[in-house]
Amino acid sequence: MLNYADQIKEKVRKDLLNLLEGVRGKKNLVVDEDLAGPLGLVSKYSTLQQYGVDKVFFLERKNIDASQKNVVFLSRGESADRALAIAEQIKRLQQESQIEHEFSVFIAPRRTLVANKIFEEAGVLGDISVEEFPLYFLPMDVDVLSLELEHSFADLFLHRDPTCIYTAARALMLVQQKHGLFPRIIGKGDGAHRLMEMLFRMRTEASVDDKSTKSTLGTLPSAVIESLIIIDRDVDFGTVLLTQLTYDGLLDEVLGIKDNQIEADTAIVGPPPGQQNATTQSALKRKLTIDSSDKLYEQLRDANFAVIGPLLNKVARRLQTDMQNRHSNMTTAELRQFVNNLPGLQAEQQSLKVHTGLAEDMMKFTRNTTFTRVLEIQQNLAAGVDPSTQHDAIEELIAKDTPLLTVLRLLCLESCFFGGLKAKDLEHFKTLILQAYGYQHILTLDALERMQLLFVRTGNIFSNATSQATTVSKTNYNYLRKTLRLLVDEVNESEPNDIAYVYSGYAPLSVRLVQCVLQKQYLLSFTKSSSSGSSSSKSQPPSTPGISSAAHGWQGFEDALKAAKGQTFNKIQKGADEAVTKARAVLGGGGTGGKKTVVVFFVGGITRAEIAALRLLERDNPIRDILICTTSIITGNKMIDAALEARTFGGYGE
């Protein structure tokens, strides 16, 4: 597999350090809070110090001091607010400070006209040097790249601001520049379509731009990348609203993972290493980095939470025997081997302790009656049970003052899965919610409606026939549940054989769509056999590459796609020089059988459970690697939170 993640990490790091090096001497660094986390993924504070960074400030706190002559701002440039804040801070410092500062502004990912205009209007443009910091993809893991645009979901679906699609297109252009054109671009959804169009447009534009740099772009399709599959989030909101049941999915739901870090009580995970003796800090929070550098976590993360207990036990026992081996008689060679392994074992033990703590904490959470109730409602809705049977349960949750996010998630889930709520029901629930959580949520509910998450049912969604129109306005889960077998009754959680394991029985539609392209045989096997007997389909091996390669794109699943929201497309990118392409195909691109990469891009965010499902897909697909790209990693809560009105009446201090 091409190691995109490391390449990108290295590049971002170098770009950043080069920029810092460009400012001579010591400097104070001001970052915006959105960017601070992502930067932590690529470089450590100590590295920044080596490059002359004295203190780090957050732009939002407005507390930059005049301790250094050089002040460096590092911020995202797409939003005008940031540029305004920077201009304001510069003016403040210029007025207050005794010394004459040198200001540098690094804007990620590109210098914008709007920021320029703002600096100009604020009268600071002449005093600052503005540089671009080309930060696009950030490596979340070896196979996951994220733009880490935290607000991309709200921007896309609430504010209808497609900036992040443009950023995504530029990011993908960089991938194409390095590895050649995507030979085929397949996708579903309007946002996806937009992204595809932009990629084509940028390609023609690049041929005008790049004349001097003589890049390889615009000439040849890639030899290492097979295709790009783009899935728009709004094709499948439903999946996100379900509670993720993989280990790291659940961690994200419960504790929240931000930039591969979680914050947990030291009481649960133990104090950080090296501070074991400090007894004073008992109730402190501790930040933990969790990524695939932790071998244990790598084994755990994608497993269904139900099997985490046994998995941890197994590891614990193995570690114990490994450690106990030292008491048995060993030759000196064995002893040396053991000593060499010791640091690894110790690290593993440490990590085992952490994850056992976390798993126990989660277990406590999942045993909570509310959690089980919510899960039960979710499973029923996913299974297509008449939603009105669930309403009493939801009402009870409201009456018991369950967090609003949880309640809204359930209502939105119903709305997504069943094409809306009946007008009477919706009105009823709205009243209940306003009474229970406050009338400020008129705004919340309205926002959810605008996001197409909560709406009144129109027409009869229960019909199984696909509509005649080429695109439908809402995804028809009821139809897709059968055609793509979203529901898998007996799912093996410990040794997963279907992606449905990530939601304990529900297969995420988004990933099923990817399977429509990559695992046609597998999908067809049970959609056909579902009439004869579904149990036989499970034993069937996944697709054999020989057959599936005959069909391209969406072929074979056109009907299913018609039932999902948004445009469907399948485009081929040809090289400018046809002859060269052919020649290369003859010379070696074809027969060598090297693994090719499929890039899967989720516009608007992907859940960790979906990532786990895609990894299973990769495991069952020996001829391809899958590189997962997204605008951000989301959860159902983050999705609803975008709409949530945080203010309340009151606080007037009477």
Partner 1 sequence: MSNPTVDWGRVGDRYYRKIKLYEDVFDPELELENYIVAGAPYAGAIALYRDESKLQTWRTTQSAKTGIDIYSCAGKLIRRINWDKGSIKGLGWSEEEKLLVVTEDGVVRCYVDLQNDFSQFSLGHEAEEYGVKSCKFWASGLVALLNNNRLIAVTQYTNPRPKLLAAVPTESEIHSWGIIPPQHTNSRSVEVLLAIGQSIYVVDTSETEDRMLQNGPFHHISISPNGRFVALYTEDGKVWVVSSDFQEKLSEYDSKAKTIPRDVQWCGNNSVALAWEDEIHMVGPSGASLKYFYDSWIHLLPDVDGVRLITGDACEFLQKVPDETEEVFKLGSTAPASVLLDAVDQLEKKSPKADDNIQLIRSNLDEAIDVCINAAGQEYSIPWQKQLLKAASFGKSVLDLYNSDEFVNICETLRVLNAVRDYRIGLPLTYDQYLRLTPARLIQRLINRHEHLLAIKVSNYLRLPTDKIYIHWACQKVRTSKEDEDTICKTVVKKLSDKNGVSFEVIARAAYDEGRATLATQLLNYEARAGKQVPLLLSMNEDNLALDKAIESGDTDLIFFVLLQMKSKLPLSSFFRMLSTRPLASSLVEASAASKDRSLLKDLYYQDDRAIASSNLLLSDALSSPSLSTAIDKLKLSHRTLAESKDPSAVIHQKHLVETQQLLKAQESLARDLDTSYIGLSLNETLNRLIRNGYSKRATKLQSDFHVPEKIYAWIRLRALVSARNFGELEELAKARKSVIGWEVYFEEILAAGNTRLAGSFVSKCSHLTAQQRSEMLVKCGLIVEAGRELVKVKDLPGLEALRDKTGAGADGVEVERMISGLKGGRR
Give the interface with partner 1 as residue ranges (CB under 8 A): 78, 80-81, 112-114, 117, 155, 159-163, 165-166, 169, 194, 197-198, 201, 204-205, 207-212, 214, 395-396, 398-401, 427, 430-432, 434-440, 442-443, 446, 645, 647-652, 654
Measured CA distances, 62 to 45, 65, 238, 360 (Å): 21, 9, 40, 40
The packing angle between helices 391-399 and 369-383, to 10°, is 150
At closest approach, how far in Å is the CB of 646 from partner 1? 9
Cis peptide before 109 (omega within 30 of 0): yes
At closest approach, how far in Å is the CB of 218 from partner 1? 9
Q: How many residues does the chain have?
A: 654
At closest approach, how far in Å is the CB of 449 from partner 1? 8
For residues 435 and 535, which CB has a smaller minimum distance to partner 1 in the complex?
A: 435
For residues 34 and 610, which CB has a smaller minimum distance to partner 1 in the complex?
A: 34
For residues 444 and 504, which CB has a smaller minimum distance to partner 1 in the complex?
A: 444
Q: Which residues contact 269 (CB under 8 A, 6 or more apart)?
A: 286, 288, 353, 354, 357, 358
For residues 204 and 289, which CB has a smaller minimum distance to partner 1 in the complex?
A: 204
At closest approach, how far in Å is the CB of 204 from partner 1? 5
For residues 29 and 398, which CB has a smaller minimum distance to partner 1 in the complex?
A: 398
**Spatial separation of the C-alpha atoms in residues 141 and 146, rounded to whole Å:** 9
At closest approach, how far in Å is the CB of 19 from partner 1? 19
Q: What's the number of CA atoms in the CB half-sphere (13 Å) around residue 83?
A: 24
Whether residue 379 contacts residue 200, with contact meaning beta carbons closer than 8 Å, is answered with: no
At closest approach, how far in Å is the CB of 576 from partner 1? 8
The rounded Cα 193 to chain-centroid distance in angstroms is: 19
For residues 192 and 516, which CB has a smaller minimum distance to partner 1 in the complex?
A: 192
At closest approach, how far in Å is the CB of 121 from partner 1? 10
For residues 15 and 78, which CB has a smaller minimum distance to partner 1 in the complex?
A: 78
SS3 413: helix
At closest approach, how far in Å is the CB of 357 from partner 1? 26
E-strand stretches of 97-168: 102-108, 128-132, 138-141, 144-146
Measured CA distances, 620 to 447, 476, 543, 550 (Å): 40, 28, 8, 18
At closest approach, how far in Å is the CB of 605 from partner 1? 18
> Minimal CA–CA distance to 259: which of 42, 108, 6?
42
Give the pair of three-digit tokens for residue 20.
Answer: 């810092």
Measured CA distances, 446 to 244, 399, 430, 452, 634 (Å): 26, 22, 10, 10, 21
At closest approach, how far in Å is the CB of 446 from partner 1? 6
DSSP conformation letters of 169-236: HHHHHHHHHHH-B-SEEEEESHHHHHHHHHHHHHHHHHHHHTTTTT-STTT-B-SSEEEEEEEEGGG-
For residues 262 and 451, which CB has a smaller minimum distance to partner 1 in the complex?
A: 451
For residues 335 and 443, which CB has a smaller minimum distance to partner 1 in the complex?
A: 443
At closest approach, how far in Å is the CB of 447 from partner 1? 9
For residues 218 and 589, which CB has a smaller minimum distance to partner 1 in the complex?
A: 218
For residues 168 and 563, which CB has a smaller minimum distance to partner 1 in the complex?
A: 168
Q: What are phi and psi of 181, to 5 degrees?
A: -65, 150
Q: Which residues contact 81 (CB under 8 A, 6 or more apart)?
A: none
DSSP conformation letters of 522-573: HHHHHHHHTTT-HHHHHHSPPPPHHHHTTS-TTTT-HHHHHTSBS-EEEEEP
At closest approach, how far in Å is the CB of 369 from partner 1? 9
Q: What's the number of CA atoms in the CB half-sphere (13 Å) around residue 265?
A: 10
The full 3-state SS of 233-286, as one line of letters, equals HHHCCHHHHCCCCEHHHHHHHHCCCECCEEEEEHHHHCCCCCCCCCCCCCCCEE
For residues 87 and 169, which CB has a smaller minimum distance to partner 1 in the complex?
A: 169
Measured CA distances, 451 to 134, 154, 416, 448, 601 (Å): 31, 9, 11, 5, 21
At closest approach, how far in Å is the CB of 440 from partner 1? 6
For residues 6 and 81, which CB has a smaller minimum distance to partner 1 in the complex?
A: 81
For residues 208 and 579, which CB has a smaller minimum distance to partner 1 in the complex?
A: 208
At closest approach, how far in Å is the CB of 35 from partner 1? 18
The pairing of strands 128-132 and 138-141 is: unpaired
Whether residue 517 contacts residue 186, with contact meaning beta carbons closer than 8 Å, is answered with: yes
Residue with tokens 């951000």: 632
- Find residue 53's DSSP bridge partners: 27
**Spatial separation of the C-alpha atoms in residues 244 and 261, rounded to whole Å:** 18
